[in-house]
Every structure is written in structure tokens, then in C-alpha cells.
Amino acid sequence: MSDVLENRKGQVDDKEKIGNMSLGSACGLEYIHAQNIIHRDIAARNVLYTMNKVAKISDFGMSRQGDLYRMTKGNKKIPLKWTAPESMSVYQYTKKTDVFSFSILLWEIFSDGEEPYKGLTGVDVKRMVSCGERMERPEGCPKNMFKIIQKCWEQSPDDRYTMSEVVRKIEDVLDDYATDSIETEGHVEPKVTV
């Protein structure tokens, strides 16, 4: 998906970002979690986006079966810019750490494939995330989608949505888009009909 976002920068409309990319990825991760699998590497680079505009979660190299996976401290490489604070500090992975990573995937989608925390080192990102700091809302990201992102990247795993909740929230945003309007930069954009 990262290639699609980069190659089509500024050309992917909100309906495709919400309905195909965000909801499709959310449904995929919801299914993976229903199979009791923790993916551990959710990012735009690991979502395939087909010619038919279907998002498919891929790259299960880091995934683990079960509700909790603890990694021993060591010299293991982890994708820090997509990693939940608890995974950075105690090397613990759960479905809620995937939800955190999913928030960064959503941020990537609505920033048209920009690199998260661009220009920051891994040490800087770890400090920021550990202190509860997060990235700003991407320009043009609907406020109701950013509220989902914010809930998914909450500091405490207990405060984050489950993927089933994420799916429902994105469906609500999509319904709002189809039936009414989406709120962006302090004003309401009317639904465009053809």
C-alpha cells in the first residue's frame, strides 16, 4: 500500500482512503486477531493493495499465535516508528500493540504515504512515544478519522479500541461520508454526488 500511496500522492480521495484502505485493512486485522494471531508488524509496507482496490494484510514473518508474546531483551530489530510504548519498554506484544501499529498505518494512509516521525531517529521516536507524544493530524485527514487514530494510539493498551471496535468506528465514518458530510479543518465539507 505504501507504493500506491506514494505513486498516487494527492490523487486518492477520502472515500477510497476510508472505505477501501482503512476499512479493508481493519477488517483484515480484525480477522487475524479472531484467529488468535498477533501480527507485530502492521504498516503500510505490509498491506497489499490490489488493482480492484482491496487491502490485504501481508508479511507474517513476525507474527505469533496467542494473546501475549514476550520477546527477550536483546539486539532484535523492531520497527520503532510503528511500535507501541509497552513493546518498546518491556518487549511485550498483544493484539492491542497491533492496534497501536494500526494507528500509524491510518496516519500513513491519510498523510498520503509520508514516513511516520520523518527526520527523527529511533531514539527520538522511543522517547516521544514513551512520554505520550504523538504525531499531528495529517493535513486533510477528516477529524472523525483522526479521533479513531488517537484512540488507537492511546498510551495505555486498556484505553485503545479492539479491532472490532475500530471496524465499527470506520464503518460509522464511512456511513457519515455517504449520507452527510465529513468534518475536516474546522468546517464541514458537503458530500459530493455525481
Catalytic residues: 41
3-state DSSP percent of the chain in helix, strand and coil, to 5: 50, 10, 40
Q: How many CB atoms lie within 10 A of CB 29?
A: 25
DSSP, residue by residue, 100-137 = HHHHHHHHHHHTTSPPTTTT--HHHHHHHHHTT--PPP
Contact 2, 21 (CB under 8 A): no
Those residues with Cβ within 8 angstroms of residue 79's Cβ, 6 or more apart along the chain or in another chain: 41, 43
What b/e string do you get for 110-136 counting C-beta neighbours within 10 Å, with b at 16 or more? bbbbbebbeebeeeebbeebeeeebbe
